[in-house]
Amino acid sequence: MPLHAGEHRAVGPQRAGTCRGGPDRRRIRLYGLAGIVVCAVVLPFAVASAGPPGDGTDGEPAVTVPLLARGGDGKASAVPATEGAAPVRSPLPPGPALAARCGPELTSPAGVEAQTCVLARGAETWARTYYRNATGGPLESVLSLMGPNGRSVRMRCAVGAEDEPGSCETPPESTGGAGRGGLAGYSAVAEFARLAGYGPLLLRAGSGAEGESNHPAGTGS
């Protein structure tokens, strides 16, 4: 009996210790399960927030933003990366080229410089004279365009005394030609004087057509 009672006393504390350690193991297991549950809930949200690299919005192409917008205003604009540079188109409409026939550049002793041309574009022909007046006083110029069958157009222009380049031209005349064909049969002459038709002729400049004379006149001619 004493031996049995001693064994009973020895086993008693062991069970008591085992019972005291039981709640600790249960707490550890509970904490572990709670951590697993927290990870299972938090990780999907973190992955969804980050998203896979390189993904854009639904169906939209990736865009690049230039550092500085064109024109230097400091405002950037988004441009799709898949788009290339748009071709630059000329603002000028297509049309026939300008044809010209010009006489020599002449200078009179009085200080008048001039060059006269016949111009044609498409079905139109006209005359133009380029001049510079270094006489120190105002002048008048008469520009004449002579065409086939005796047709002619005359334009009177005032020439200022500013010693600056200027020009005078006649209204265009319909010729029915195209390009250089509109020059055929046409010639032009520009005459400069103090008073057109009344004062002395200072310079006569032609477009250089056959049979046409150029006359750099003096102040008294």
Per-residue model confidence as pLDDT tens digits over 133-170: 999 999 999 999 999 888 899 999 999 998 999 999 99
Query: Residue 185 sits in which domain range?
Result: 99-206
Give the number of C-alpha atoms closer than 13 A to the C-alpha of residue 15, restricted to the C-beta side.
Answer: 6
**Residue 124 and residue 196 in one domain:** yes
| Burial category of 209 from C-beta neighbours within 10 Å (exposed 0-12, middle 13-18, buried 19 and up) | middle
Chain-wide mean pLDDT for the chain? Answer: 69
Q: Does 158 fall in a domain? A: yes
Q: Give, in order, the Cα–Cα distances in Å from 162 to each of 158, 165, 196, 217.
A: 12, 9, 19, 21
Q: Name the band, by pLDDT with cuts 50, 70 and 90, for residue 39.
A: low
Top-confidence residue, 39 or 57: 39
Q: Does 137 fall in a domain? A: yes
**Residue 104 and residue 190 in one domain:** yes
Q: Give, in order, the Cα–Cα distances in Å from 212 to each of 22, 35, 204.
A: 130, 110, 11
**Residue 107 and residue 186 in one domain:** yes
Q: Does 79 fall in a domain? A: no
Instruction: Give alpha helix (H) positions in 1-91.
Output: 2-50
CATH number at residue 108: 2.60.40
Residue-level pLDDT at 208: 82
pTM over 0.85: no
Asked whether the beta carbons of 140 and 196 are under 8 A apart, the reply is yes
**Residue 107 and residue 181 in one domain:** yes
Placement of tokens 């690049």 in the chain: 64
Q: Does 193 fall in a domain? A: yes
Number of separate domains in the chain: 2
Q: Does 57 fall in a domain? A: no
Strand-pairing partners, residue 158, are: 140
Q: Looking at 26, 48, 70, which one is the last position of a domain? A: 48
- Provide CB contacts within 8 A for 133, sequence distance 6+: 111, 112, 139, 159, 160, 161, 162, 163, 166, 192
Q: Name the band, by pLDDT with cuts 50, 70 and 90, for residue 18.
A: very low
**Residue 42 and residue 121 in one domain:** no
Top-confidence residue, 30 or 134: 134
- Provide CB contacts within 8 A for 140, sequence distance 6+: 156, 157, 158, 159, 192, 193, 194, 195, 196, 199
Placement of tokens 């001049």 in the chain: 131
Phi, psi at 167, each rounded to 5°: -150, 160
**Residue 38 and residue 127 in one domain:** no
Q: Does 22 fall in a domain? A: yes
Instruction: Concatenate the DSSP letters of all residues of 88-113 into one string.
Output: P--SSPP-PPPEEEE---EE-TTSEE
**Residue 41 and residue 112 in one domain:** no
- What is the sign, positive or negative, of the torsion defined by CA atoms of 45, 48, 53, 56? negative
Q: Looking at 14, 33, 48, which one is the last position of a domain? A: 48
**Residue 105 and residue 186 in one domain:** yes
Q: Give, in order, the Cα–Cα distances in Å from 76 to each of 63, 66, 87.
A: 12, 6, 21
**Residue 189 and residue 128 in one domain:** yes
**Residue 107 and residue 196 in one domain:** yes
Q: Does 94 fall in a domain? A: no
Q: Does 58 fall in a domain? A: no
Placement of tokens 């006149």 in the chain: 217
